[in-house]
A = this chain, B = another copy of it.
Amino acid sequence: MSENGFILHGAAVYSENRERIISMDEAWIVCVDGVSRGVFDHFPEEYAGLEVEDYWDKLIVPGFTDLHVHAPQYQFRGTGMDMELLGWLNTIVFPEERRYKDLEYAESSYDQFIEDLFVGPTTRAAIFGTADVESTLLLMDMLEDTGLVTCVGKVNMDRNVPEYYCETAEQSLEDTITFVEGALAEEYERTMPIITPRFTVSCSRKLMQGLGEIAKEYNLPVQSHLSENLTEIRMVQELEPDASFYGETYEKTGLFGLPSDIRPEREECPGYGDTIMAHCVWSPKEEIALMKKNGVFIAHCPESNMNLTSGAAPASLYLDEGLRIGLGTDLGAGASPCLFDTMKAALTSSKLRKRFYDENIRSLDFSDVFYMATLGGGEFFGKVGSFEEGYEFDAVVLDDFSLSTMNEYGAAERMERLMYLGDDRNVVGKYVRGQKLY
């Protein structure tokens, strides 16, 4: 037996699959070579040689995955939320993102962003940079040092963007290759490039086609935005009249996942065919069917969708129909970098959606949002987001002592309370792929 492992002892909560949450008031979780060997309700004698890290009455949960976050929107989070998507992009987002050509600014700003990511419950993230290559590579460098596992993209856009921040298709593609090759040359252990067209509104067909080819050639995943806002959707219809729905503009250009029968099996995740589409608030039936067929991951961003008056995605429908779905903070349209807040927003917005819009779509419950925050989003990175045997060992240790109550709660209810009442103060330990970060 390998000695390269350890056992965590404490209360544990994790999703076995999307239907079943496991709650254990006392658990021993075994990690060997960065991978879980399973969870035991008694001390596992077969691993007696491993050191036990004793967290006693603390709660141990899988690391959380933030499937959609904009690093260069960190500075203005929590302001400007009285606008909707397109006005907000032009007034607040683009001028700010343009500043990242200044590497000194980029470094100071990304430093603050990364600090927040580090102290919260997130262990994995899919991150948007800016259109600028240098500062996006810098962001990857900085992230690699944290121990977190991330995908990072240089953003592309060649239309409907103010001149000061707009690229040509040619330049954008050339820069993307520079970015990808620069990133790959670093041979990072835990930071990988991801193809990142901003959204169809700001990407010509030519640009998107080129990006699809790059994704395929370099075996890279893709992330973008889809069906977020009603005005945006109308704009896509006008720009791309031959697409019968928004998602088809990505599908036609090789940027919308792959059907499972032709999606490559792989050791290393993610790769070509793995795609994240953020929002999907207003996806029509055909789009939903295609996302299911192509294994597209939905990044459900409920705080952002409320803040920008976009609406609320039918997340329970996506879950119940077997689509892949995780949560995104969507900084800076989401204010909070902490996925506890995203989970809460997913619950509350699903309830208002049910009451005000569609009684037939059930609201989410705690186990749904816990699943999305851990296993649902983690799946984008491979076997990630659970303590089931064989999963990469990402764990977060939570101390709920400060959340006073005289009631005795089981582990799952303690996690529910942490979600409602806790914040980064309650995150007291973090492991990624078996490496202890703190």
Counting every copy of the chain, the complex holds: 2
Tell me the minimal C-beta distance from A228 to chain B in angstroms: 12
Whether B417 and A311, one on each chain, are in contact in the complex, defined by CB atoms closer than 8 angstroms, is: no
Chain B nearest CB from A64 CB (Å) reads: 18
Q: Assess the B309–A417 pair: CB atoms within 8 A.
A: no
Contact of B406 with A355 in the complex, beta carbons under 8 Å = no
Q: Quick one: which of A349-370 are within 8 Å of B by CB?
A: 349, 351-357, 363, 365-366
Interface pick from A30-38, A76-84, A124-132, A211-219: A76-84
Q: Are A403 and B78 in contact (CB under 8 A)?
A: yes
Can you give 18 contacting A-B residue pairs, CB < 8 Å? A75-B407, A77-B417, A77-B420, A78-B416, A78-B421, A79-B409, A79-B417, A81-B347, A81-B366, A81-B420, A105-B406, A112-B406, A306-B349, A309-B363, A312-B352, A335-B421, A336-B420, A423-B423
Taking A77-B421, A416-B78 as contacts, is the C-beta distance between A355 and B405 under 8 angstroms?
A: no
Given contacts A78-B403, A335-B420, A353-B356, 14 further A-B contacts (CB under 8 A): A75-B406, A77-B421, A78-B421, A81-B420, A82-B366, A109-B406, A112-B406, A116-B404, A307-B351, A309-B351, A309-B363, A311-B355, A335-B421, A348-B349
Chain B residues with CB under 8 Å of A77's CB are: 405, 417, 420-421
Contact: A307 with B348, CB < 8 Å? yes
The answer, yes or no, to whether A108 is at the interface (CB within 8 Å) is yes
List which A279-306 residues lie within 8 A (CB) of chain B.
303, 306
Q: Which residues in B have their C-beta under 8 angstroms from that of A105?
A: 406
A-B pairs, top 4 by smallest CB distance, nearest first, are A78-B420, A306-B348, A335-B420, A356-B357
Most chain B CB within a 10 A radius of its CB, from A353, A421, A425: A421
A45 within 8 Å of B (CB atoms): no
Minimum CB–CB distance from A422 to chain B (whole Å) comes to 9
Task: For the complex formed, measure the closest distance between the CB of A21 and the CB atoms of chain B, giving whole angstroms.
Answer: 13
Q: Which of A81, A312, A336, A348 has the most CB of B within 10 A?
A: A348
**Does A15 have its Cβ within 8 Å of any Cβ on chain B?**
no
- The residues of B that contact A116 with a CB separation of less than 8 Å are 404
Task: Determine the residue in chain B with the shortest Cβ distance to A413.
Answer: B79
Contact A112 B404 (CB under 8 A): yes
Asked if A60 is at the interface (CB within 8 A of a chain B CB), the reply is no
The answer to whether B417 touches A78 (Cβ under 8 A) is: yes
Q: Which of A108, A307, A406 has the most CB of B within 10 A?
A: A406
- Cα-based distance from A205 to B340 in the complex (angstroms): 44
Q: Is the CB of A406 within 8 A of B108?
A: yes
Quick one: which of A312-354 are within 8 Å of B by CB? Answer: 312, 335-336, 344-345, 347-349, 351-354
The answer to whether the Cβ of A310 comes within 8 Å of any Cβ in the partner chain is yes
Question: For residue A416, which residue of chain B has the nearest CB?
Answer: B79
A365 nearest CB neighbor, chain B only = B82
Task: Tell me the nearest residue of chain B to A115, going by C-beta.
Answer: B404
A352 B356 Cβ-Cβ under 8 A: yes
A420 vs B77: C-alpha distance when bound (angstroms): 8
User: Which chain A residues in 375-406 approach chain B with CB under 8 Å?
Assistant: 403-406
